[in-house]
Structure 1
Amino acid sequence: MKIIAIMNHFGVLAKEAPIEELHKKLLAENYRIIYPEDVDDLMELVDNNAKVCGVVFDWDTWSVLLPKNISGLNEQLPMYAFSSQRTQLEIDVDDLGLNLHFFEYAFDAVDEIAARIQRGTDAYFDAILPPFTKALFRYVDEGKYTFCTPGHMGGTAFQQSPVGSLFYDFFGANTMKSDISVSVSELGSLLDHSGPHREAENYIADAFNADRSYMVTNGTSTANKIVGMYAAPAGSTILVDRNCHKSLTHLMIMSDVTPIYFRPTRNAWGILGGIPRSEFARETIEARVKQTPGASWPVHAVITNSTYDGLLYNTDYIKQTLDVKSIHFDSAWVPYTNFSPIYKGLCGMSGTRVPGKVIYETQSTHKLLAAFSQASMIHIKGEFEEETFNEAFMMHTSTSPHYGIVASIETSAAMMKGNTGKRLMENSILRAVRFRKEIKKIKASSESWFFDVWQPEGESLAPCCWNLTPGAEWHGFKNIDEGHMFLDPIKVTLLTPGMDKQGKMEEQGIPASIVAKYLDQHGIIVEKTGPYNLLFLFSIGINKTKALSLLRALNDFKRDYDRNAFVKEMLPSVYEQQPTFYAGMRIQELANGIHKLIRQHKLPELMFRAFETLPTMVMNPHAAFQKELHGEIEEVYVDEMIGRVSANMILPYPPGVPLVMPGEMLTEENRPTLEFIQMLCEIGAWYPGFETDIHGAYRQPDGRYTVKVIKNVQ
């Protein structure tokens, strides 16, 4: 649907009659016409309706101020100004850059004017479409017959089958027609970076302030491995964030490298506070190299930025301080940082090159921009060997990439370019800040309890990234560095009752897992659930309706909790796990039961102690997995882990941080780590439906968990 906005108030009949004629002509050309009442109405229309492809207005009434305002939202949107012969055109040099076209009022010119508007619309669509996507659309429109893969042949095969027809109708014709073979030469190649594919990479690099960008069609898990395979040769030592994504553990399993781990801090809620600056100091790294068998000076470093909970580093400091050849910022959760000034200096591609270093940044385009799942990007600043890097790229990239994913990566970059992208980010940030204020407002007016927000204290918060100031009570971190970590406003963490800011357990509490399950049953999925905290992502796809729906659901939970509804009523999916156990149980009994278990295990103290010391590294992850491949492993109960070398990574979610890495051994010093795992297992054993997902631990029929350990190595 093409929409043209025509401003009202043309004033006199001599002007309104030609506009009425133009209206009829545009309707015949399949345009939809909307008449905003005033400037505010027009600006809201342009800001909230992406299908507007042109604005028509009277120059004598609105003059140059209106197109300047429109251009502030979308500088590429065509504008058509009608003027009379007596009109004075007050346009200066700066105004000539506006996408502005002039017409005179005349009855006999309607066909020419409509044709020029159509040409303006076509030029607008051509200007906003990025190169690969444009080429893909053109190819589909040409309707060529192919005798190559994929076998469904533009969807024809699906339509030969009843179930295939249902599949075809669900996904649509263009989805099928754009799923094409790498044999289509006019689209170039993702693997050798030619044609429209290379144009798309250049387009993306320009948008994301990178020297070079790569499109990855199987996620940032793969992007991380590509960077690591190139930057960390076998036999080298690397610095790795202990809060790394498991894809980086998989990289270390695949490549024979020696890891030295950066140790992040955490607070009582289990929120990661990032890596202290002392970890980046040369003397700290020297000491770790001496302590680690087989280690040499690291050639590469990997840092998770932002953390899962939305904390961003002062990356400028890290780039200048960390003494390694290359630094990889795993920024899967923040692909939008280049499009708002609040993130300046807090992301990998900020600023210019760093002499003598290569900076990598991997981003999940699909996570918080508008792209299909598995869409990811690699951005690079600095000198690197492109041919060798591409060998690593091809090792992990399918020879049959899905072109729909490729186009979605490029389109997400196009969406963020210029004033339109800035506005998208500004709206996202402001919406998150408004939501935070609403939560605080409800909490302040509540006579009993309500959810709180993890953020700096104060009546009014500026829409920026908030500094975690040393000594500030709100964040709960001890000995944090000034100007080192900043909270991203669009990552909203809500706190449930049960634990105060100092980590002291309260008499009663509402574990966040209960709230998450309630929201799930009301159509709202939580991104991450901690013991007493819930993470919500206010991406550019979150609109007012979705934000209000979340607010209402939280209010509904409070209402149902306060009236002490039955578990069967509030959490039917949990009730169905064990109807006999939950029969007659009310929600407050469930909440306080789980809360009591957490109190008995002294969660805050256990959380600190469990992550305070790292297990002993007996062999690197690569060597441990080789042992597993050769069958030199056995399974033992979790309770028997002390003194045994783990074959796999053990990662409970929440909090989603590795407790034990392959090749590591828990000692008596690490007993709190074991107790933390045992606590998570016990909650699930006592309360069906609240089991913790523990990667690397396997639940047996008797309810106990086992892990894989290396045989004959202690």
Structure 2
Amino acid sequence: MSNELTSGSGPALNEYYNASQLRADSWSRLKADSARLAAAAASADTSSLQRRVAETMAMLEPIEIYWAFPGRHNFKHLQRLFELGEYVGMSRSIARIVRSLMSNAYRHKAIPLGLNGETEEQEDADSVIESAEEVAHQRPYFEILVVDNMTLGQEQALRHSLRKMRRSEDQFIYEAVIVPSFEDAVIAVLQNHNIQAVVARYGFSYRSVHNFALLHRSLTRIDERHIADLQSEDYGIALARVCETLRPELDFYLVTDQSVEDVAGRVPQNCRRVFYNQEDYVELHLNILRGINKRYKSPFFSALREYARQPTGVFHAMPISRGKSITKSHWIKDMGEFYGLNIFLAETSATSGGLDSLLDPHGPIKEAQELAARAFGAKQTYFVTNGTSTANKIVVQSLIRPGDIVLVDRDCHKSHHYGMVLSGAQVIYLDSYPLDQFSMYGAVPLREIKHQLLKLKKAGKLDRVKLLLLTNCTFDGIVYNVERFMQECLAIKPDLVFLWDEAWFAFARFGPTYRQRTAMHCAKALRERYCSDDYRETYVAWKEEFDKLDPEDEATWLDRPLLPDPDQVVIRTYACQSTHKTLTSLRQGSMIHVYDQSFRTKVEDAFHEAYMTHTSTSPNYQILASLDVGRRQVELEGFELVQKQVEMAMVLRQAVASHPLLRKHFRFLTVQDMIPEEYRKSGIKKYYDPEDGWTRIWEAWAEDEFVLDATRLTLYVGDIGIDGDTFKNRYLMEKYGIQVNKTSRNTVLFMTNIGTTRSSVAYLIEVLVSIAHELEEEFADANQAEQRVHARKVHSLTKELPPLPDFSRFHGTFQPGGDDSTGEGDLRTAYFLAYDDSKCDFLPIEDDTIEKKLKAGEDVVSAMFVIPYPPGFPILVPGQVVSPEILEFMRKLDVKEIHGYRPEIGLRVFTREALSEEAQKN
């Protein structure tokens, strides 16, 4: 198979990010070309059209074997019609296939393809618009993957046998995809998002007979060293392990001719049943449906829906319950019309009638949280109905006692800083690498964290170090190598607790590439690794070599990978996720995920107290129900949705990089722009290049210290002389109604999500093209004075960017014992000291007042959190010394919103007397 389409039939293969994108475009192209071929006069020269159709069908053939619709049998029949010159019948069938694929009609009814003499009117029956009631009663559809080397006739017989098992009372409906080899099975699992279960029989080979590069990219994700040399009878167990890694939500069923007792003891947890020799189709069918139902269950949503159906007399504290206060009103009936009645029928303050209490769950909320823990790979999961800001405070308060040392990513979300105040932590702020040219920070290098831990160890304070808090991924899309960071930190502090702020990363669990950098996945992987005999042998060998080096030399620890002692290491990991930000949930719906070996013995009681402290006694049931349903969605279609989300982001990158006008004015920042070379072992520079096509990102995500989340697209607008805030408001929002979350001085951040469609991507491209045309006209019509003004703006946004300041230091008054050797600070004391106005003063930053104090040797100490938006993180915290660099940065900021700073009265700082008095107390 050629890796490039023949000229005239479509784009080159290297322009496609994945086979799904190629499949959709190829069917559309085939529909258009076959229609023209069918309509051509008998005397016309159709050789060019015939060649195009033949090439497209050849391109689709190795892709379609991995999908149940239209299926290999029907595709072969289309090829026969083409070979016989039956272009009209072929064109009709192709048109119906495309309509069914676009409308998803094949998911809920049989689609006749005109292959048996149906009339054109019968073939168009699927175009009839179905009623809402018909749609509501459609059974969810999925596909199962059967791995066995069968003839086409045997395949048909198997499908017929499975269809005979269907019953009217079945809750779901499915079709089978049948592939002959291990490699084909891996490709199918990663390409066909409809697959929800895998049935591996004992008669399949290892290698695929197809050699289609776009599909074979999938095979780079498996380690062949331990598979290819296995006996064929062990392929099934190996495939189960691979599926567990790639798509852990899938149910796996194994059919074997070996001793089932022996096999059952060796299969991984995703293997639901082992059948001997010839499976019982009834049992297989029922087990498949039962497995899907376990993921489909949404216990709290179902309980709330059932409650809403019940006739209830309301004599409790919510007038809005059952909608009574609205339906009886003469003035707010429009609220009921807007929201509909169900939302009010489901409003209650009761925890009876089949419902449950969030603060003390024993029923459907408890079960919903357990299902969420399974879905996200956690040991425990807790729902939060007032956002991840609260989730962060719950975790910090449950883990930290006053005096504990916490290492914190300085540019993390402000809720963490307030959590440090509430807990009384001694805070050491970690600096991320700066991206001065874009007015944003990256992430904290591993070397910086190890350096801080070693300083604390040398100072005899390592026992007081409790927690490392990092943001993964950052707002701008920088993703940590979570497994490596945890491993090397545990080598220095074996019981270190990790809190990963995954507010923007909840979706990552459901994509194979992304999952390997999530907190829960890495926590489980590390625990299993450290319990293995292989790791113990590796550690002993590493320790022997390490002990030959000088342990007092910091470079010994900093310049090489570290391994923790398996006899001492404890995995203690927490992740807070804003489900509502990247998955389906109502606003403020969040989750706390826990993978802590010491949770039951050391944390559980404190966690529940912290949970009680910060959680409302009147949680919003609608948010809880949305979290439950959102979990159901990602367990059943998260893989598909995340795959499409990434694909849409890649399409946007490609569109801007390839369009002559767009790339003249705009560009999306690349991996090379966002991550310095020293942190990119893979050498990857960008995801797409018009000349070289797509980069294979799997290797980078497996080994680089930092990677860039492809779904974050940072558009650079500095070259057009428009700052990010102006571009967002004046151009995107006011003119075209496009909303974005974040800007920097010269960038605008776009994000794709699981709801992003190709139409929305197309609209954004149209908007950017329109803006580019508008800019072209403005530049062409500008007089010399306007051109000079524009040039100054461009220079300001591209050359005159203030360097991002590092964290300076805590003032000695707020350093325990006055010890500044390790840099921890008492944030809580400084925060509450500022409550006394008499201990504070206000200093202007526009003149040289602060400089004079600094030159005179006086420390100027902030009494407030000072947080400019953007970038949205504190550049000053209570108790921090104001440095010349921070002062310069504040002066050059051109943002309108700076929390904690009022230009008309100045910067709030502590008086010299207040600092002296506080120091004497200590």
How would you bin the TM-score normalised by the shorter chain? 0.7 to 0.9
The equivalences for 1:108-257 within 5 A come to 128-184=296-352, 186-257=354-425
SS of 2:428's equivalent?
Answer: strand
Shift of 1:94: 10
| C-alpha distance in 1 between matches for 2:449 and 2:751 | 29
Question: Does residue 647 in structure 1 map to residue 863 in structure 2?
Answer: yes
Question: Does residue 676 in structure 1 map to residue 889 in structure 2?
Answer: yes
Letter in 1 for 2:724: A
1:387 corresponds to: 605
1:504 corresponds to: none
Question: Does residue 516 in structure 1 map to residue 728 in structure 2?
Answer: yes
Shift of 1:526: 1.9
Question: Does residue 5 in structure 1 map to residue 238 in structure 2?
Answer: no
Q: State whether residues 470 and 501 of structure 2, in contact with CA within 8 Å, keep that contact through their aligned partners in structure 1.
A: yes
Q: Deviations over 1:593-630 (max 9, x none)?
A: 54455578x31xx324x237556564222112211223
Letter in 1 for 2:842: E
| C-alpha distance in 2 between matches for 1:678 and 1:98 | 69
1:492 corresponds to: 713
When normalised by structure 1's length, the TM-score is 0.75
Q: Deviations over 1:524-547 (max 9, x none)?
A: 112211122221111101111211
2:258 corresponds to: none
| C-alpha distance in 2 between matches for 1:657 and 1:423 | 34
Q: State whether residues 656 and 662 of structure 2, in contact with CA within 8 Å, keep that contact through their aligned partners in structure 1.
A: no
Which of 615, 620, 639 pairs up with 1:397? 615
Shift of 1:142: 1.9
Q: Given the superposition, is the C-alpha separation of residues 616 and 296 from structure 1 closer, same or farther in structure 2, using an over 3 Å criterion?
A: farther
Which of 644, 655, 661 pairs up with 1:427? 644
Q: Given the superposition, is the C-alpha separation of residues 565 and 520 from structure 1 closer, same or farther in structure 2, using an over 3 Å criterion?
A: farther
Letter in 2 for 1:154: R
Which of 749, 754, 768 pairs up with 1:535? 749
Shift of 1:692: 2.8
1:316 corresponds to: 483
| C-alpha distance in 1 between matches for 2:780 and 2:481 | 48
Q: State whether residues 429 and 807 of structure 2, in contact with CA within 8 Å, keep that contact through their aligned partners in structure 1.
A: no
Q: Given the superposition, is the C-alpha separation of residues 5 and 616 from structure 1 closer, same or farther in structure 2, using an over 3 Å criterion?
A: farther
Identity among equivalent pairs (%): 25
| C-alpha distance in 2 between matches for 1:593 and 1:144 | 69
Q: Given the superposition, is the C-alpha separation of residues 435 and 299 from structure 1 closer, same or farther in structure 2, using an over 3 Å criterion?
A: same
Letter in 2 for 1:4: H
The equivalences for 1:208-607 within 5 A come to 208-267=376-435, 268-281=437-450, 283-287=451-455, 297-322=464-489, 323=493, 324-351=495-522, 352=524, 354=527, 355-382=569-596, 383-384=598-599, 385-418=603-636, 420-443=637-660, 448-455=664-671, 456-457=685-686, 458=689, 459-462=692-695, 464=697, 467=700, 483-498=704-719, 509-517=721-729, 518-521=731-734, 522-564=736-778, 592-597=791-796, 602-603=800-801, 606-607=802-803
Shift of 1:231: 0.8
| C-alpha distance in 2 between matches for 1:210 and 1:527 | 29
SS of 1:391's equivalent?
Answer: helix
Q: State whether residues 328 and 360 of structure 1, in contact with CA within 8 Å, keep that contact through their aligned partners in structure 2.
A: yes
| C-alpha distance in 1 between matches for 2:658 and 2:278 | 48
1:611 corresponds to: 806
| C-alpha distance in 2 between matches for 1:520 and 1:94 | 59
| C-alpha distance in 2 between matches for 1:713 and 1:291 | 29
| C-alpha distance in 2 between matches for 1:644 and 1:516 | 36
| C-alpha distance in 1 between matches for 2:718 and 2:758 | 27
When normalised by structure 2's length, the TM-score is 0.59
Q: Given the superposition, is the C-alpha separation of residues 630 and 615 from structure 1 closer, same or farther in structure 2, using an over 3 Å criterion?
A: closer
Q: State whether residues 386 and 590 of structure 2, in contact with CA within 8 Å, keep that contact through their aligned partners in structure 1.
A: yes
| C-alpha distance in 2 between matches for 1:5 and 1:398 | 46
Compute the RMSD of aligned alpha carbons: 4.1
Q: Deviations over 1:398-446 (max 9, x none)?
A: 000000001111211111104x211111111111111111111015x66
| C-alpha distance in 1 between matches for 2:770 and 2:131 | 49
SS of 2:175's equivalent?
Answer: helix
Letter in 2 for 1:340: G
Shift of 1:242: 0.8
Q: State whether residues 5 and 55 of structure 1, in contact with CA within 8 Å, keep that contact through their aligned partners in structure 2.
A: no
Shift of 1:224: 0.3
Shift of 1:343: 1.6
The equivalences for 1:89-104 within 5 A come to 93=279
| C-alpha distance in 2 between matches for 1:135 and 1:447 | 53
SS of 2:513's equivalent?
Answer: helix
Q: Deviations over 1:198-248 (max 9, x none)?
A: 001100000000000000000000000000001111121111111211001
Q: Given the superposition, is the C-alpha separation of residues 60 and 390 from structure 1 closer, same or farther in structure 2, using an over 3 Å criterion?
A: same
Shift of 1:658: 1.7
SS of 1:394's equivalent?
Answer: helix
Letter in 2 for 1:460: G
Q: State whether residues 370 and 380 of structure 2, in contact with CA within 8 Å, keep that contact through their aligned partners in structure 1.
A: yes
1:572 corresponds to: none
Structure 2 unaligned spans of 5+: 1-103, 144-154, 164-173, 179-188, 198-276, 528-568, 672-684, 815-825, 916-922
Q: State whether residues 404 and 426 of structure 2, in contact with CA within 8 Å, keep that contact through their aligned partners in structure 1.
A: yes
Structure 1 unaligned spans of 5+: 34-49, 78-90, 102-119, 470-481, 499-507, 568-583, 684-690
Shift of 1:331: 0.7
| C-alpha distance in 2 between matches for 1:402 and 1:396 | 14
Q: Given the superposition, is the C-alpha separation of residues 182 and 69 from structure 1 closer, same or farther in structure 2, using an over 3 Å criterion?
A: farther
Q: State whether residues 618 and 664 of structure 1, in contact with CA within 8 Å, keep that contact through their aligned partners in structure 2.
A: no
Q: Deviations over 1:65-122 (max 9, x none)?
A: 9812599544579xxxxxxxxxxxxx97498788699xxxxxxxxxxxxxxxxxx9x9
1:31 corresponds to: 134
The equivalences for 1:689-704 within 5 A come to 691-700=895-904
| C-alpha distance in 1 between matches for 2:283 and 2:716 | 49
Q: Given the superposition, is the C-alpha separation of residues 366 and 51 from structure 1 closer, same or farther in structure 2, using an over 3 Å criterion?
A: farther
Q: Which has the larger helix fraction?
A: 2
Shift of 1:194: 1.7
